[in-house]
Amino acid sequence: MLAIVAGTLVLVVVSIAIVLVFGRSRPSPPADPNGPAGVVYGYIEAVRAGDAERARGYLARQARADFDDRNRQNPIRATPDDQVRIVVETSTATDTSSEVKVTISRFYARSDPFSSGTSHHDVMVRLVKEDGAWKISVPPLAYELY
C-alpha cells in the first residue's frame, strides 16, 4: 500500500515538473511591421493609444483625408481597456492589395455562472501598395477597435 501511495506521489510531482518546464506555449513572433498584418497591428495600437498622427501614417492618401474629417468631428481617445483581445491575420494578399481580418474579443465579468462573458466581432481591413509600402485603404472605424 505504501508503495502505491509513494508511486502516485512521484507521478504527480513528475507531471507537475513536466508541465512547468515544457507546458508553456512560446509566444508567436511579432508580425512583420512592413507586411499587411504588421501595418494593421500598428494602426490599431496607434488608435487605441489615442495617437491620431501615428495612426494617420499607416493610411493611404484617400483614407487619410477621410480619417482627418472623422477625427475632426470625433477625435480618437486612448482606451486603457485590458479586457480586450485583438487578433490580426492576413486573409488574402496579392502584389498590390491585401485584406486583413481583425478579430476583437471582449471579456465581461458576469455574475451568472452559466452565461457567456465574451463577445467577438470581425472587421476586415483593406490595404494597397502605395509608393512601395503597404497602406490601409479602408480603415476600421475607431469605435470598432474598442
Q: What is the pLDDT of residues 5-54, one digit of tens each?
A: 888 989 888 888 787 777 655 555 667 788 999 999 999 899 888 898 99
CB atoms within 10 A of CB 123: 18
**What's the helix, strand, coil split of the chain in %, to 5?**
40, 30, 35
| Helix (H) or strand (E) run with residue 21 in it | helix 2-22
pLDDT band, residue 60 (cuts 50/70/90): very high
The domains found in the chain, sorted by start residue, are: 30-145 (3.10.450.50)
**What is the distance between the alpha carbons of residues 67 and 51, in angstroms, rounded to a whole number?**
13
Whether pLDDT at 133 is above 80: yes
Residue whose entry in the numeric block shows the C-alpha cell 476583437:
104
Average pLDDT over residues 72-97: 82
- Tens of pLDDT, residues 106-132: 887 766 766 667 888 898 999 999 999
The CA-to-CA distance between both ends of the chain, in Å, stands at 58
